[in-house]
Structure 1
Amino acid sequence: MLRAENLSFQIGGNRLIDNVSLNLLPGEFTMVLGPNGAGKSTLLKLLTGTETPQQGQVWYGDQLLTSIPLATQARQKAVLSQLLSLPFDLSVAEVVMMGRYPYFDLNPTHLDKQIADDCLEAVGMFSFRTRAFASLSGGEKQKVHLARVLAQLHRQPNDTSVKYLFLDEPISALDIHYQHQILSLVRELAAENMVVFVIVHDINLAFQYAQKVILMDQARIYGIGSADEVLTEAAIEAVFKLKPYFLTHPETGRRVMIC
């Protein structure tokens, strides 16, 4: 389990996270929504240790995040940020191999190479493995970076430890087919004893995929629970300043929002 208590963070006089507490359970697919500037990405940075809260603490299981050695963290958590470019020229296969760095010293083993190839296959990018990463489209780069974090968290046989996956808008540059393919893949990963924290903007995707929704507004958590509990007409109107209308999907029975 990931547990955060009373997190606060500010830069200058601007409070980006204000007294946020939450629990994230392995096996649960959590989606985070909110308007621009609500604090979603900053919360991800605090939960992953990229930023240090001025108040509050984060636990992975029964350990404080700050007490876990970095080498251990690299084998148990992976982060996909919004930054897609790289400052050096690498092939697609080399970018994905970066996810295996915590597992070898100088040269990747045959197993590392096989895992990287399998992760590229999982996101539909195996045929691009020899391409220059810089030559890819934005959506293709997103899929390659997703393959990298999947390679980082790839389980060896008999590994039942909790893993932690954090994705910041991982489908923003993808067409609708790949959006659903990637979210289906991530949902399957969550079921494998993994804490999954995904920032998205599409409310209808949250209705379809999320087991838990965190709705943020003005640096705080506005609501947390199932999509139906949190993404109500009143909540959406209050947070997004937009009046929603809901329909029922004729086949699945899920709610669908239109504006």
Structure 2
Amino acid sequence: MLRAEHLSFKIGGNLLLTDVSLTLLPGEFTMVLGPNGAGKSTLLKLLTGTEMPYQGQVWYDDQPLKSIPLPTLARQKAVLSQLLSLPFDLSVTDVVMMGRYPYFDLNPTRQDKQIADDCLEAVGMFSFKTRAFASLSGGEKQKVHLARVLAQLYRQPSDQSVKYLFLDEPISALDIHYQHQILKLVRNLASQNMVVFVIVHDINLALQYAQKVILIDQGSIYGIGHPDDVLTQSAIETVFQLTPYFMTHPETGRRVMIC
């Protein structure tokens, strides 16, 4: 379980996040939405320890995040940020192997290499394993970085610990086929005793895949809960300043938003 209480964050005199409290449970697929500049990525940084809050605290299970040793945290938590470029000339396999760094000292084992291959296969990039990372398209780079964080949290059969996966717009550069493929993959990961926190912009994808939605506006949580309860017409009008219309999908019965 991840728990945050009364998180606030400011740069200079500007408050970017104000009094945010939430609980994220393993097995629950949580999606985060909000307009540009609402505080979504800031919240992710506070929940992962990349930034320290001005006020408040974060716990992983019953342990304060700031007290968890970095080697331990590197085996529990993985983060995919929006930054896709790398300053080094690496192969695709080299990039994915970065996710295995917490598990070996100097050289990866045969098992580490197999895990990297398995994760590339899971995101549809195994055939690119020897390619130079810099030569890939934006969407291909996004899938390789996703394979990297999957390799970091790869679970051995004997490992029953809670894992924490944070993804900041992981499908923004993908075509519609791969958007659904990746979200199905991540939803399955959430069911495997994993806390999953995913920032997205597509309300319809949140309605289709999320089990919990966090709607953020102007640095505060506007709503949190089941997508149908949070992503209402009035909430979308207030937060995104547009009037949505909903219909029912004829096959799935889910709500679909049109504008």
- TM-score range, shorter-chain basis? over 0.9
Distance 1:242 1:189 in 2: 33
Aligned residue number for residue 121 of structure 1: 121
Distance 1:229 1:114 in 2: 42
CA RMSD, aligned part only?
A: 0.3
- Give CA deviations for 1:115-142 in whole Å, capped at 9, x if unaligned: 0000000000000000000000000000
SS at match of 2:105: coil
Aligned residue number for residue 235 of structure 2: 235
1:174 CA displacement? 0.1
Distance 1:73 1:148 in 2: 16
1:157 CA displacement? 1.7
Aligned residue number for residue 195 of structure 2: 195
SS at match of 1:18: strand
- In the alignment, does 2:185 pair up with 1:185? yes
- In the alignment, does 2:80 pair up with 1:71? no
Letter of the 1:146 counterpart: L
Distance 2:15 2:252 in 1: 41
SS at match of 2:216: strand
Letter of the 1:36 counterpart: N
SS at match of 1:36: coil
- Give CA deviations for 1:182-212 in whole Å, capped at 9, x if unaligned: 0000000000000000000000000000000
Aligned residue number for residue 34 of structure 1: 34
Identical-pair percentage? 85
Q: What does 1:39-58 align with in structure 2 at a 5 Å threshold?
A: 39-58=39-58
Letter of the 2:68 counterpart: I
Aligned residue number for residue 132 of structure 2: 132
Distance 2:140 2:16 in 1: 31
Aligned residue number for residue 156 of structure 2: 156
SS at match of 2:101: helix
SS at match of 1:22: strand
Runs of 4+ in 1 over 3 A off after TM superposition: none
Distance 2:94 2:128 in 1: 11
SS at match of 2:50: coil
1:14 CA displacement? 1.6
1:37 CA displacement? 0.4
Aligned residue number for residue 19 of structure 2: 19
Letter of the 2:217 counterpart: D
Letter of the 1:205 counterpart: L
1:13 CA displacement? 2.0
- In the alignment, does 2:248 pair up with 1:248? yes
TM-score by length of 2: 1.00
- Give CA deviations for 1:150-202 in whole Å, capped at 9, x if unaligned: 00000112111000000000000000000000000000000000000000000
How many matched pairs? Answer: 259
